[in-house]
Each structure stands twice: as C-alpha cells, then as structure tokens.
Structure 1
Amino acid sequence: MSGGPLLLGVRHHGPGSARATRAALEAAEPAAVLIEGPPEGDALLPLAADEGMRPPVALLAHVVDDPRRAAFWPLAEFSPEWVAIRWALARGVPVRFIDLPAAHSLALTAADGDGAADPSAGPGTERAGPPGDTGPADTDPMDRDQGAGPADAADVRVDPLAVLAGAAGYEDPERWWEDVVEHRTGHGGDPLAPFAALGEAMTALRAEYGHGGHERDLVREAHMRLKVRAARKEFGDAVAVVCGAWHVPALQERTTVTADRALLKGLPKTRTETTWVPWTHRRLARHSGYGAGIDSPGWYAHLFHSPDRVVERWLTRAAGLLREADLMVSSAHVIEAVRLAETLAVMRGRPLAGLHETTDAIRAVMCDGSDVPLALVHDRLIVGDVLGEVPDSAPAVPLQRDIGRAQRSLRLKPEAAEREIELDLRKEIDAGRSRLLHRLRLLSIGWGEPFRGRGSTGTFRESWRLRWEPELHVRVAEAGVWGTTVLTAAVARAGSRAAAATDLAEVTALAEECLLAEVTDALPAVMRALAERAALDTDVGRLAEALPALARSLRYGDVRDTDTTALAEVATGLAERICVGLPPACTGLDADGAARMRDHLDAVHTAVGLLPPADGLEDRWAAVLRRLADRDTVPGVIRGRAARLLLDGGRLDEDGAARLMGLALSAAVPPDRAAAWIEGFIGGASGGGMLLVHDERLLALVDTWLTGVPAEAFTDVLPLLRRTFSAYEPGVRRTLGELIRRGPAPASGSRPSPTAVPGFGTGLDHRRADAVLPVLRLLLGTAAPSTGTAPGPAGSEPRGGTVRPAERDRAGAGT
C-alpha cells in the first residue's frame, strides 16, 4: 500500500464483493478504512459492533424541520461496506464515511422537487419522499439496469454491468456477474486481483462514457477525493477505500484541491438528523431506489453464508419450505433437483449452477412444472422476510422510543412478513394492542390495517393485518412533531385534523377514530368541529354519510367504557334533521341518484337502530319510511326499499306488504318502475329470496306481474330483474324455480299435489311442531312446564304433556 490508497471497487450488496473485500483487508491491514456513505453517520458507526445490531439495517437521514425529506443507506450482511465496517471495528481500525453529506444531498433533492431523482444522494441510498412516496434517489450505476447508449450522449444513463456482460457475450448482466464474481474460486491466490481487474474495466468505461449520465457524481467524487486526501495526511498511504467500482477511476484521477472545492462551492445545505433503522430483505428487492440492483437478497445471503455445497444446501432449504406448505417433497426430489441443476449449468456453459438453474430444477422436480408453489419459494426464500434489528442505544426520536416500549409491553413484535391477528377487547392486553394500533393509524403510521375477520362479528373482536415496513420510521419521525408519546401525539394530531376538516363526514370519521383509539382528550375539539360542520351542512346526502360513523362510534364507545354523551346528542340531532329532509330529497332523482339514496337509506336505518333510545326517534323514522313507501313521486327502488325496511322492522304486516306490492305491480304502472320497486324490495343481499320462498303470496304477485310484462317492455326491465335475482344464493334460486314450477299451493285441507316439493307442506302440523319444543327448551335454557319431557317420535305426542299453542309460539319466536 506504499504507492497510495487501496481502492476496493465493489458492487453494493454483492456477496462476492463482500468476500473479496474481507480477504483484501486481511491481506493489506490498512491503518484506516473509508466507506462510501454520509459523513453524518460517523458517530453511529460504533453501534455496528453492538450485539443487538443485526442486519439488514439502514442509515436514515432526515431533515430536522421536515422529516418527510429523508434518505436511507441500506446495508445487509453481504454488503461489502458492512463487512468493511465490522472488520475495522473488530480490530480497532478507524473507519469513516466519505460521500457527500446528507445535509447537501437532501437539500439538492428539495431544490429539484420531491419527485426528482437525486444523484447526489449517493449509491446505496433510497429517498423517502412525501407520505405514500418512497421513490428512489439516483443510485450507483453498478446497481441499476439503465441500459447503455452511445458514447457521445452526455445524458445517457449507463449500466456498467450490462456493457461488460455484453462485451463478454452475455445477454443477462446478473448471470455474467454470478459467473465472474459470485462463483469465483480464486485469482492465483492474490486477494487484490479482482479489484485490479474491475478497476481496469471501469477505467475503460469512464473513458468511453464519461460520467455516464450521472452528472452529480462529479460533485460526489470531488468530495470523496477531499476526504481521501485528509485521511492520507492523518494516516499516510495505508488507507483502504471501499466504494462503488464506478467511482474508482475518478478517485485515481489527479486533480487539485482547488478544483475539487470549486465543484462543492455553493451547494445548498439543510439541518439533518441521522440514526440506524431496521431494514428488510423484501425492501432490498423492491424495484425502486437502491433495491433495483438486487432481485434475490435471500439467494445472495445464502451465497455469502454457505461455506460449501451451495446448491445442495439451497435445494434442501427449498424442500423444507415446500414440506411446510404440505407439499410432498422427499429426499429423492432434492437429489434429483441437484443433478438437474448441475446438468443445466454444464449445458449452459456456466462454472457452477446459479439461481436460474436451481429455480428451474425446483420448478421441474419439486413443483411438477407449476409456478404456483414456485411463487412461494420466490417470496419466502429467494426474497425472504428477514427484518433487521437495531439496539436501543441507537439515537431515536422520543416517539419512536415510546412506540418501542409499547411494543415490548404488549408483546407485539414488528415483523417484515404480513401476519393476521385477532383481538378480543375483553382482554386487557388485546385492548392495549387495539389502542396502540388505532393511535398509530391516527398518526398516519400504518403498521396495522383492520379488516373484517371470518370469526365473530361482535364489537369485542377486531382483526388486523400487520406488516412493519422501513418507511414507517420516516412516518414516526414526521409524527414526532406532534408529541413525545403516542398518546400525546395522537391527541395533538386529532385536534389539528379537526380544525382543518371542511367536510362533515371527515369529522365524523375522525370522531370514530378517536373513540377507537381511546383518545378522549381530543374529543372536545372534535365535538366542537362536528357541531359547527353539522349546523352548517344542509345536504341530506352528506348528513346520511356522516351518521353511520357516529352510530358506530357510540357502539364502540359503549364497549370501551367511553363517555359518549356529547356524541350521542350530535348523532340524535343529525338523525332528526335527516328525518325532516329525507322525503323532499328523494323526489326527482334519476336512476343513479336513486341508487345512491337507497344506500343512504340503508345506512341511516342501521344507524338509527344503533343510536341510544331517544324521544320518539324510532317512531319518527318509521313515519318517514311510510311516507317514502306511499309517495308516488319517489323512485320505485326507494319506495320498495322503504316498504321492505318497514316489513322487517315489524312496522308493516304481511297484508300491508302484499297491498303495496300489488299497487306497485299493477297494470297501470310502467314495467321499468315496477321492476325498480321489486329491486328495492327484494333485491341484492337483503334476504328477499328467502322472503319469497316463505311467503307464496308475494311470490305469486311477482310471478303474475312478470308473466304479464309486454314483450316490447321485457327487454327494458330484464337488466333490473337480472341484477335483482342474480345476487341470491344458488340454493334460493333453485327453490324459487321449484316453487314456480309446482304452481300455487293447494287449499288448506286438500291432498298435496304429487309434484309437491318435499319439505313444503300445505299447512302447519302442530303435532310434529310440538315434538321439537323440549329440545328447544334445552338449547335455550328455559324451564319446562313439567319434568320428564323428551321429544318423541315424529307425529307422536311429546312426553310430559301437551304444549299450549301460546307456549309453542313463544318457543318459535325464541329460535
């Protein structure tokens, strides 16, 4: 190393480069190690030796006043930079970052706009933009497939690997890199030979392509040269520099200090903070930012850690994964897959079987040629769900520390793989988990996403999908401006959202979020905003959209023992205003408007049932439904739906429903309006099919009307009828067809038709019905009128005496 600094040009996240870097450092034993990365991370480098630090991890730098402007520098176990850092720390050798400071790169990104690529951010970086945008910074050309172009095109973005692979006769740059680097077994015993060869190739490329379309690389390389000069003054020539191979020719270039400083003069600057954060293999493989250069982090980690028999170990892991998925994969499959992978490597002229060969072998031998189980191997093995860990001693905003304490106390560990959890809010630990997840959602930290589970639908249960993404650390830093704990930040954030809300539905949704998160200190501000918006809003549609959220809030408030008195008053006031304004709002609507209003009608009806009892509210709502059902100026779909809601609520008897249907389906009513009424009354998932099955009068009315529709009008009403009946369950449709085929039921007391459908009698057999009552009493836990009751055979008197008709009716109602 007496001739100058040792330049180790690497491919970021390359296991072959990582092994070569370690061998070169062992051979050269430099006095200092310089790493391509933001100098703000120098103070954090000792944490890399902490036992609690487990890669993949990333340096996170963000602007102090605007945490949304942030950048990551990810490092995996197989990253050459990480290997060099750990080597230096283990031997007490000084190690420093030498790339352009994040204070400049983030300021340059802001100057270009949030959506602009930022070459100055450096290789190995990924920019985190505004919420929902984690677009890439411009990364090292060694890590992106950007395509090579003519040498005279100054703005062409060159992919050095593609150029070198093309020169070697390869179409796939990744395959070329595997053959010449990852599968390399030695270069005559000289650990520095790979770097000399790669540096020579990059020198030729830079001579041909210049900066290769990465204009700001010139600024970054000027800063790196200044840092190298300073290190040589301090440590002499025994300095090793680990950087992207693309930069090696620039660092060898002879320039003056004045010229390099001139390139850095006038760069914008901003205040930043830096820390370590966990990273994931899945984020490394994402096709944006720095992850674009590594499609298979799981495979690369396997290459780095496997001392020998790489193919055999890999295919054994694949077999184990498939067996866990209940696929029949034996040892014989593994042996045959190894033979096939090695044979494919020979046929393709490769030194060893690589990822392509092993994947083809898994598909052919273990997956029987199917890509479905192969997708599992790709997701869980080739990419993987590895999530790094960062020690508690790493710098973090107070909010991040509070979240970490809550995660530990609630035993809710963040994981990279998506998982589903079921929470029972009657248990204290599950209630605490629910509070934490809802509060984080209130702060726009989307660790968990609620969904409707397949289990109980009670209000004491919640279902969540959890996945921790590295970008959430940026969200945490951004939310840190609202408070130092999750609770105080959620209160401040909710108050700010309430003050800025302009839509009534937005405020009601916020009130629901606050109750779910038990952020009661924010409710006064939210309630003031809610009362103000509700007083000014006169649109019945918007009022109808807002009421369901309030009703749900009251429901969950009862479950969580939250005082919701003020919320109940506002909700009742909204319901009263809807009762007054809904009938006029339902007149003069077109088909689309009527369909939307029908949805509002359903939502308000459900909400009224959830609201606490008020003076005559349910009666007033029933009167509104009655007016809608009787008013001819209201669209048929709304009139039919109102009639159905009255029938289901016991406010309309069967005779009244039959009368309304008869009027709606009379010959004087146009067929399209009659079809709309039918859609509102029995359409969709409202249970109308079962209503027709059990009430043959209504079925006969529909059948009579349908068979009487004129041929010229039938085509117009067919879409409505298809939409109405196609939503029924197949069994319901089949039963309706059988009933229609059978024809009208025979009169009471006559012999059943021989074509009658089994199970549909001509009337109620009281003796057979009485036989099931003892079993019903047992299931319902009700006392029997006398002891020793037991169900007898069908058609016989149950033991224990005859049951009175009134008792039979009560038991039937109980079921």
Structure 2
Amino acid sequence: MTGAERPPGPLLLGVRHHGPGSARAVRAALDAARPRAVLIEGPPEADALLPLAADERMRPPIALLAHVVDDPGQAAFWPMAAFSPEWVALRWALEHGAEVRFVDLPAAHSLAMTRDEARAADTGTARAGAGTEDGTGDPATRAPVDPIGVLAATAGYDDPERWWEDAVEHRTEGREAADARAPFTVLAEAMGALREAYGDGGHPRDAVREAHMRIQLRKAVKEFGEDVAVVCGAWHVPALAARTTLTADRALLRGLPKARAELTWVPWSHRRLARRSGYGAGVDAPGWYGHLFEAPDRPVERWMTKVAGLLRDEDRFVSSAHVIEAVRLAATLAALRGRPLAGLSETTDAVRAVMCDGSDIPLALVQDRLVVGETLGEVPDDAPVVPLQRDLTRRQRALRLKPEAPERELELDLRKDNDAARSRLLHRLRVLGVGWGEPTAGRASTGTFRESWRLRWEPELYVQVAEAGTWGTTVLSAATARAESLAASATALAEITELAEQCLLAGLPDALPGVMRALADRAALDADVGRLAEALPALARTLRYGDVRSTDTAALGEVAAGLAERICVGLPPACTGLDAEGADTMRGRVDGVHTAIGLLSGTAPLPASAHAEAAAGGLRERWTAVLHRLAARDTVAGVVRGRATRLLLDEGRLPEDDAARLMGLALSPGTPPADAAAWIEGFVGGAAGGGMLLVHDERLLGLIDAWLTGVPADLFDDVLPLLRRTFSAYEPGVRRTLGELVRRGPSASGPGGAAGAGATVPGFGPGLDTARADAAEEVLLLLLGARAGAHTGSTGTHTDRTGTHTDRTDTGTHTDTGTEEPLGATA
C-alpha cells in the first residue's frame, strides 16, 4: 500500500456503489462500531438536504441533483437505491443520532471542471496522446482501471459480475456478524495492491477528490476523535489511509474552477441505475440486487415466486410446480458451476428452461420488469425545486397525470375539459423541450378531437425542467416566452409554421401574435417553392383546431391561402430538371400540398364570408389545374408525374380512360426503363390503396405487366431496385393476389376464349360478374349488421332499414328505405 498506514482509528468502509452485499456489510459494521460521525462520498453542498432523508415520504431510488444556476443544463446526479451502501449509512446515522456529512469534492468544482473539459474538447485544446500502451503516462489520457475486472480475472473468473456476486453479494448475515470489519479489510488490501501495480489509475479527477476527502476526514477526527466512519468507493480507501500533509492536499485543490450550483433531491429509477442506461457506476441488474437486499431469507425461492406472478399476469400458464422445479434447477446449476448460491445467471437459465419453455421472448419481459425493474422513487413535496418544477407538479396532480417510470399510452378526448387541459400541458412541455410525452398515431378517427400520447418519466427530465425554468416560473409563462424566442430566431418558414401549430395545440394565445408576425415576414421574403410547400401542411393543420380547442384561427387562413396561391404558380417549374433524390423529395411535397389544399378548400375554417368561400373553391380548381400540368408535362420527373396522375384519379378529376392513356404514354417503348419505373413508383407506390388499384383495374395491371415483360434484359437490373421498393410496400395479401392474377394467365371467359379481346389482362374477365356479386352481398350485409330485405338481383331493388342509396355498379336501381339513426346519437 502506498504511503504509511494510519493507526487504527477511523473506520474506512470501502464499498461498491449500489451493491446489496456492501450495503449489508456497512450496516453490520456501523452497528458494531457505533461511530459518532459518518462521512459519505457525495457533494458537501447537500448537507442541508440530509434531514429530508429521514422523511418517510422519501422512498428510494432517489438522487441528488446539482446544476449550475446560470446554466441548468450543466448538471450531475448522485443516485442512491435502497440497496446502496451510501443510503444505508445515511439512514443509519439519522436513526442513531450520529453526525452525517458528505465529504466528496464540492459540486461547484466538479460541475465547473466538467464544463471546462467539455469546452476544451470542443475547441480541440484537450491534451491527447500522452499516454502509453502499458497504461503509464499522463493520467488524464490513459484508460481508468477496472478494479473489479482485475480482481475477477486474478481469481480465475471471466465475468466480473459473477465474481462480485460470489465474493460479496451472496454473503449471509451470519458470516458478516463474525467480524464486521473483515470484508472491508480484505477489500482495502486488494485495492492497495492494485494501486501499487497500476498507480493512481482511476479517473483523472480522483487525485483532487481524494485530497478534499482527506481534508474533511482530518476535520472530523479533530472534532469527534477517531470515532468516525467513512463510506466511500473501495478504490479510494488506500488514498484516505495514506499519510499526507494538509499543505500538500490544499495545494492540489488550489486554483480549481468554480461555478454557483444548486442541489436538491429528485426521484430516480431502477432503469436509470442500470449500466446499459449509460450510468458509469451502474449495475447490470438493479431489480435483482434490490431483491437480494430486501429478501429476509430464501432469496431464490422468493425470486422464482415473483417471476411466476409476473408471467401469470401476462396470461402464461405457470404453476407452483414450475416454481419448485425452477428452484431445484437453479440450485443444481449453481452446484455444477461451483458457486456458493444460485446467482442471476442460474436463475435466468432456470426460468428460461422451466417457465418460458426455452423461449427468450417471455424471458425478455422478466429481464425488463424484474431484473432491471421499473421502480420510480418519491421525494417529499418540501424538497427544494425550481419554481417551474413546483408549478408542473401542481398541474400534474390537478390533472391526475402522475409521472411514472413505465411507458404507457394515453388516449385523450379533447371534447372533455380535463383531457383538453392534459393535452395543453403536454404540448407546452414539448415547446419547452421537456420530452415527457410523445404524440403517437392512435386509433383511427376522422375527427380532430382525439390525441394519443406515449408517456414515460425519466429522471433526466428534472434537468430539462430546471433548464426550462430560465424562461419563466410557470409552465404557461415559460412556454410563451420560449415560443416567442423561437419565432424570433427561426430561419426557415417551415419552422415558424410548425411553431404556430404548436402554439395553437399548447394554448399559447399571447405567443401567437409574435409568431404570426414572424410568419408573415418570412412568407413575404421566401421565394423558394420547396420551402413554401414544406410550410403549408403544418399551417393548414392548425386551421382544424378552432372548433375543438376554442381558438381563433381566422388570421392564419389568409396567410395559408396566400402561400397556396404562390405554390400553385411556382410548383410546375420547380418540378422540372430534378435528379432522383430531388424528385422523391418533391413528390412528398406534392402530397403535403394536396392534403393541405384539401383542408383549406374543404374543411378548414377560412374567413367566414362568401368571398372566402369562393376563394376556397377557386383554390381547389387552381390546384387541380396544376396537377394536370404536372401529369402531362414530359420534362417533369417521372415519380412526380405518376403521383399527380394518381391524385387526380383518386379525386375523380381524371377519367379512368385518361389515366390509362397517361400510363400507356409513360410506359411506351420510347421511354427509358428507369423513367417508366419512377412513374410507376409515383402512381402506385407509397400510397394507400395502390396495390388494390391494380387488383381491381384490369387495364392498369395489364399495361404494367406488358411493360415489365418488355424491359430488355440488360436494363432490367437497373429498374429492379425501384420496382422492388414499390411493390414490397404492399400488404402481403395484395402481393399474393397480384401474383395469382399474373400466374393464372389470360381468362377464357372473354370473347374468343383464352385469347379473347375482352381479356385484356391475365386473370380478369371482360366485365362485372353479377352472379358472383349477388352471392357475396348477403354475407356483406350480415357483416355490416344490416338486415337483408327484398333483393331482386342486379337489375332490381334491395330494401333494408339503413337508408336510401343507388348502387352505380348495377344496371338497375338499388334502393334502401327507412330511417337512419343520427351518427353519435348514443354517444
């Protein structure tokens, strides 16, 4: 061990952070020693928060959060779980009336050092290359030593976690009671040997941290004598036991950068304690470690019972016999592997074999829910927080919207006051950059009164809330201020239109005027048709929210109509001379503009006047004319021409004969195969119902089939990737039907037999088979819940109670009589 040993006195308890075995050993050592003061590795600014740990409302996992006052995004956490040795020591000291203090480097220094290191890395001034391959050289550049990994390898283990479980975590209370200091003495000797071999091979900041801890230890010894216990990472124990001078330690701390920091307690979660979350001191299985710490006896049996309960809740058949066999198998595996007790690997293998039938799918559920766990801690309301967090917490409670660690789906009906308020809160948090909720595609609905959200509260959100607190003290005022700032700094028109939509969704009426001014200014100056086309859809969507959210959207109508007019003028020239990537981008813009103009001219609340209604109708006609120009112009990229043709056909603005004529021109022998494939991609690719259109339109399928079979062999490889992308997007059933139609060959039902003129495409007859249609009609009526009435065939009438309509596919009339129940009458 480097340096001279301290004489027996202060109790140095070297631990592994978040280790249940270490936590039990710390509790046993403190019970035996009964120190007057307990010093814990942690930021000393948090000493004022220690009394809150005695509050029964404080439920781990929790964490100390420190952030720079003038830059809340610069933050750090010190997590503690129920099985963390630091938490056990803290609670022991509070329960036994001992003095308790944090003695690590102050957060004011550590946060400032982290900030300066990040700036140095960004500017390229960080030192690099001073280390050597054997681990010597500049400690700031060589990789830190993994002490547990080295000790495990020395003991002949290939898995450090398995060694730590066998050596520490599986220790029983009886073995610990024999000599409470024994495990810490052994661990301190091992760490001393490692530090002799590797030097101070930990983190580059360890030297100053250990100097500060030695200074605080000297103060405590001077005040309480040697009746002091220190709980810290095992790696630091040799440094704290070494003899150094106060002058030397102060010299290490001289000149450290400093920042003004604030600290508080925040809830933490088992998921964020896991190493896979990126937490450097994390463990692989916090849920499993929590179970080992809490189980009074028979931990394996109790664990298997938990697993069985989880699988039963998921409707899997698991009986008590499964639990018994799984326990026996885990014990057998432990004996075969030479382990003192079945560990996580043995219990996992037993669960997979006995309860999951060898499948990793249900095992993944056990891993996520139990091995890692979804526990979220709780902090008392009187813990210090930024004003914005306090307002957010108050609103969460008022709206019964509890922050939870497990991910969950939330369906909102905006016609209900509470759901509308929830929606506004979630949208305001998104404006502030607090990602608690993410909008998702919910169940199908043609209305705008439904919203679906995916919610998950992560501990890092407390940092985001603290950072957002610079904009205001309440969620409403902060979101308003940030929206105004975003509008002033936005450089793209699409950004401002999306911001206007967010302001309406979030209910920020005070921010909307500023956003509208920025929108009008940017729209007047922006002449790029592509950017105008990207901006229009979001603007048009906002016009739908006036009725549901009681917001005034009339001012947006004029701006949206003006943008649409400019797009109609400039889009055709912008669609010429495009490469493949630009053409694909333009197709997406055409889709967005088409949807937006449909909203503006059909359902969007433009200014309520006859002039506005006439303008809306004229806008739709102008857009139809633009689509006709795009579909017919040869200089327009094929994918855009095909898409324009399809949009016109779907809207009923293009006769089917004209659509077939345009397809025939696009697929003519004189058209390069790549251009023809692009036209097909635009016409039937990426659009809802594209495959079914080919299934039911014999001419279009025949044209594509004839063109595809005529592509020269040397060019087929060039068009294959595009065609494969087009048809692979179809539903499996649609692809199968198309394949069967092509495989079946020419239909023999047309005039002239197999080669009849009426059979224009393989597998299709010359027209509608009315007999087969009549046979299916009764089944369809049954599925739709309609009562079948009198039916006289394809040239007769059909009567039921659902209403009156005429079927345009029949040669006669098809009439329903009766009354129709108003939609939503029973809602």
Task: Report the Cα offset of residue 705 of structure 1.
Answer: 5.1
Distance 1:701 1:47 in 2: 77
> How many Å separate the matches in 2 of 1:588 and 1:731?
37
Counterpart of 1:136 in structure 2 is none
Counterpart of 2:651?
A: 649
Query: 1:193 is matched with which residue?
Result: 182
* CA distance 1:279–1:584, change in 2 (3 Å): same
Deviation at 1:536, TM superposition (A): 1.7
2:163 to 176, 179, 182: 176
Of 79, 82, 107, the match for 1:77:
82
CA contact (8 A) 1:2 1:238 kept: no
1:47 aligns with 2:52: yes
Distance 1:163 1:678, change over 3 A: closer
Bigger Cα displacement from structure 2, 702-711 vs 212-221 = 702-711
Task: Report the alpha carbon displacement of residue 64 of structure 1 after superposing the two structures with TM.
Answer: 0.3
1:165 aligns with 2:152: yes
Please list the CA deviations of residues 562-607 of structure 1 after superposition, one character each: whole Å capped at 9, or x if unmatched.
1112222111111110000011112222333322222221111111
Shift of 1:676: 3.8
What SS does the aligned partner of 1:499 have? helix
TM-score, normalised by the number of residues in structure 1: 0.87
1:232/1:667 CA distance change after superposition, 3 Å: closer
Distance verdict in 2 for CA 1:663–1:378, change over 3 Å: closer
Corresponding residue number in structure 2 for 1:108: 113
Cα distance in 1, alignment partners of residues 619 and 447 from structure 2: 25
For each residue in 1:599-626, what CA deviation from the matched residue of structure 2 results, as whole angstroms up to 9, or x when unmatched?
Answer: 2211111110011356111111111112
Listed as ranges, the matches of 1:227-266 within 5 Å are 227-266=216-255
Aligned residue runs from structure 1 range 403-422, under 5 A? 403-422=392-411
Which one-letter code corresponds to 2:159 in the other structure? D
User: 1:53-88 deviations in whole A, cap 9, x for unaligned?
Assistant: 100000011100011111101111111111111111
The Cα shift of 1:728 comes to 3.8
Deviations 1:432-474 (A, max 9, x none): 2111111111111101111112443532222211111111111
Q: Which residue of 2 aligns with 1:591?
A: 580
| Pair 1:614–1:18, CA change in 2 (3 A) | farther
1:18 maps to amino acid: A
Q: Which amino acid aligns with 1:410?
A: L
Deviations 1:538-561 (A, max 9, x none): 111111111111111212344322
1:619 equivalent in alignment to 2:624? no
SS in 1 for 2:178: coil
CA distance in 2, matches of 1:156, 1:601: 53
Q: What is the CA deviation profile of residues 481-513 of structure 1, one whole-angstrom value per residue up to 9, with x for unaligned ones?
A: 000111110011111111111111111121122
Secondary structure at 2:384 match in 1: coil
Partners of 2:651 and 2:723 lie apart in 1 by 25
The superposition leaves residues 140-166 of structure 1 with CA deviations (integer Å, 9 ceiling, x where unpaired) of xxxxxxxx9678996452222233333
- After TM superposition, the structure 1 = structure 2 runs for residues 777-792 of structure 1, keeping only pairs within 5 Å, are 790-792=789-791
Matches within 5 A, 1:5-44: 5-44=10-49
1:272-351 equivalence runs, <5 A? 272-287=261-276, 290-351=279-340
**2:534 maps to 1:524:** no
Q: One-letter code of the match for 1:63?
A: V
Letter paired with 1:92:
G
Q: In structure 1, what is the equivalent of residue 214 of structure 2?
A: 225
1:633 aligns with 2:654: no
Aligned counterparts, 1:375-414, within 5 A = 375-414=364-403
Q: Deviations over 1:255-274 (max 9, x none)?
A: 22222222211111110000
Quote how far apart the aligned CAs of 1:807 are: 4.8
- Supply the AA of the counterpart residue of 1:651: R
Secondary structure in 1 matching 2:79: strand
Contact 2:750 2:759 in 1 (8 A): no
Residue equivalent to 1:88: 93
Distance 1:202 1:538, change over 3 A: same
Please tell me whether the aligned partners of residues 40 and 231 of structure 2 are also in contact (alpha carbons under 8 angstroms). yes
Quote how far apart the aligned CAs of 1:763 are: 4.6
Q: Where does residue 527 of structure 2 map in the other structure? A: 538
Native 8 Å contact 1:2 1:237 kept in 2: no
Partner of 2:823: none
Structure 2: distance between partners of 1:225 and 1:476:
36
Partner in structure 2 of residue 132 of structure 1:
none
Which is further off, 71-80 or 354-363?
Answer: 354-363
Distance 2:660 2:135 in 1: 81
Bigger drift between 495-504 and 203-212 goes to 203-212
With 389-398 and 14-23 compared, the bigger mean Cα shift is at 14-23
Go from structure 1 to structure 2 and tell me whether the alpha carbon gap of 1:58 and 1:790 turns closer, same or farther (over 3 Å shift). same
- Check 1:429–1:763 CA distance in 2 against 1; reply closer, same or farther (3 A cut): same
2:684 to 682, 685, 693: 682
- Letter of the 2:789 counterpart: A
Q: Name which of structure 1's ranges 312-321 and 638-647 shifts more when overlaid on structure 2.
A: 638-647
1:350-749 matches, cutoff 5 A: 350-456=339-445, 458-611=447-600, 612=604, 613=613, 615=615, 616-666=618-668, 669-703=671-705, 719-736=721-738, 741-743=745-747, 746=750
Kept in 1, the 8 Å contact 2:187–2:234? The answer is: yes
* SS of match in other structure, 2:545: helix
SS in 2 for 1:270: coil
Question: Structure 1 residues 678 and 181, CA, compared in 2 at 3 Å: closer, same or farther?
Answer: closer
Q: Which residue of 2 aligns with 1:125?
A: none
How many residues of Structure 1 are paired with residues of Structure 2 in the alignment? 778
User: C-alpha displacement at 1:20, in angstroms?
Assistant: 1.5
Gaps spanning 5+ residues in structure 2: where?
1-5, 123-132, 605-612, 821-827
Q: Secondary structure at the match of 2:511?
A: helix
Equivalent AA in structure 1 for residue 391 of structure 2: D
For residues 228 and 674 of structure 1, do their structure 2 counterparts lie closer, same or farther at Cα, with a shift above 3 Å needed? closer
Return closer, same or farther for 1:464/1:221 CA change in 2, 3 Å cut-off.
same
Contact 1:752–1:762 (Cα < 8 Å) also in 2: no
For residue 732 of structure 1, report the CA deviation from its aligned partner: 4.0
SS of residue paired to 2:275:
coil
Structure 2 Cα separation of the partners of residues 259 and 189 of structure 1: 39
After superposing the two structures, state which structure 1 stretch, 37-46 or 552-561, moved more: 552-561
Letter in 1 for 2:369: R
One-letter amino acid of the structure 2 residue matched with residue 15 of structure 1: P
Matched position secondary structure for 1:180: helix
**CA shift at 1:201, angstroms?**
2.8
Native 8 Å contact 1:15 1:78 kept in 2: yes
- Change in CA separation of 1:196 and 1:690 when aligned onto 2, cut-off 3 Å: closer
Contact 1:285 1:291 survives alignment (8 Å): no
Q: Which AA in structure 1 matches 2:361?
A: V
Tell me, in whole angstroms, the C-alpha distance in 2 between the residues paired with 1:100 and 1:410.
41
Q: Deviations over 1:696-731 (max 9, x none)?
A: 444455555556666666665555554444444444
Identical amino acids, percent of aligned pairs:
70
Distance 1:332 1:623, change over 3 A: same
Q: Match for 1:113: what amino acid?
A: A
SS in 2 for 1:588: coil
The answer to whether the 8 A contact 2:410-2:452 is kept is yes
Structure 1, unmatched stretches of 5+, are 117-128, 130-147, 782-787
Aligned CA RMSD, in angstroms, stands at 3.8
Instruction: Give, in whole Å, the separation in 2 of the partners of 1:542 and 1:813.
Output: 50
Change (3 A) 1:251 1:742: same
Distance 1:617 1:192, change over 3 A: same
Q: In 2 relative to 1, CA 409–752 (structure 1 residues): closer, same or farther, beyond 3 Å?
A: farther
Native 8 Å contact 2:630 2:636 kept in 1: yes
